[in-house]
Structure 1
């Protein structure tokens, strides 16, 4: 299993189903971010994933695919992140879809390029929450328990706290981080400016920035500086 993500502090997440100009993509890829994560909750296809990856590959930074559907799996990424939603009672989002993928692709799977993510989905209004039936009304103790389960019982390398467009409870994120010793804690949701990125980076190991890229590119680029300034000189 590749653990290249352990060095990532800031990541831009780009959605294949959303348009981004060549100029904006260049700014994102040359921003100083540690990696680009490609993925989305809906509308992701093989065709739009290939197109976005080929454009990102003009630049020298790691590019990972977060696998949301079997149809959108594209060869050529540096890393493949496999989400498993922890706070749902729908088995298909924990192991069901994963079994289908292994059954379909079998020995073709590059296991050394995969890393599993234990997702804790916390925004009830998000597409991913509705799609997976996530139990979002949980507090920090329950979230920390899920994280500890992922870290100690399931041995997942990443715990992903997902607020999907809404700026989340950073005290909860800190509690999750305290509950883990091996897994990296990713935070995603509502990081739209320098200060939000600075605060999130003090709570999590890796900050994922997505929607603001499409809404306010200058602010998105400032999040890189916010994450960098969270670390001691």
Structure 2
């Protein structure tokens, strides 16, 4: 399963703390997206994570849990993504929370199903930025350096640039992609039109579409069209 992420172009991200109807969830799961990530920054509990997971499991689509709360870890996902927030000022989000979770669960963690994300939060107003106390006063060279750290120093499989609700600097993101050779480049943030999805897909290996799901489900489904364009 881990090797297959290299072929993923589009992923929907669902927040356990937000409501989604059965009808809309079915549309998401049959949309043609490559996978579904379950994750969020606040309000994540075992109960709401398990509830969403059990509903997704009805459909033949890869499911990934992005872990932000060790008390909300649900067994049964196809993959588990562990964000390491490289620009966090709070060290708990770089290695502190991770060490505590491994101390508690290290003997039973399915390491073969674990992927680490080198995560950089770039929107100063985003909840994730506030929760992790991330430093977003970064220039282009700072972000490129984080990308190189992720690949060359830390040998991480994923570098995730997160703008969380606003559309990112596409020209900078294209430069990020050029400095990554082995690490998969994920981008998320402000993808609420097909045009933005296409621009993001040109700048990153994999785009993550989230907020628009809860604003306009049909528009969210339209963003999957970038897979067709990339295959031409």
TM-score, with structure 1 as normaliser: 0.97
Distance 1:88 1:15 in 2: 21
Distance 1:176 1:89 in 2: 22
| Residue 12 (structure 1) shift | 0.3
The corresponding residue for 2:23 is: 23
The corresponding residue for 2:198 is: 198
Mark the runs of 5 or more structure 1 residues left unpaired by the alignment.
none
SS of residue paired to 1:26: helix
The corresponding residue for 1:172 is: 172
The corresponding residue for 1:62 is: 62
CA RMSD of aligned residues (A): 1.1
| Regions of 4+ moved over 3 Å | none
Distance 1:46 1:232 in 2: 38
Distance 1:103 1:138 in 2: 33
The corresponding residue for 1:228 is: 227
Residue-by-residue CA offset, 1:51-84 (whole Å, 9 max, x unaligned): 0011001110100000000011000000000000
Q: How does 1:11-160 map to 2 (within 5 A)?
A: 11-160=11-160
- 1:4 is the counterpart of 2:1: no
Cα pair distance change 1:203/1:230, threshold 3 Å: farther
| Residue 202 (structure 1) shift | 0.5
Cα pair distance change 1:5/1:232, threshold 3 Å: closer
SS of residue paired to 1:108: coil
Distance 2:198 2:229 in 1: 5
Distance 2:5 2:16 in 1: 21
Cα pair distance change 1:232/1:77, threshold 3 Å: closer
Deviates further, 53-62 or 172-181: 172-181
SS of residue paired to 2:123: coil
SS of residue paired to 2:118: strand
Query: What count of residue pairs does the alignment treat as equivalent?
Result: 232
Residue-by-residue CA offset, 1:107-166 (whole Å, 9 max, x unaligned): 100000000000111000000001111111212211010000010100010000000010
Checking the alignment, whether the CA contact within 8 Å between 1:202 and 1:230 is kept in structure 2 is no
Checking the alignment, whether the CA contact within 8 Å between 1:145 and 1:179 is kept in structure 2 is no
Distance 1:21 1:138 in 2: 38
| Residue 232 (structure 1) shift | 4.4
SS of residue paired to 2:84: strand
SS of residue paired to 1:199: helix
TM-score, with structure 2 as normaliser: 0.98
Distance 1:229 1:197 in 2: 12
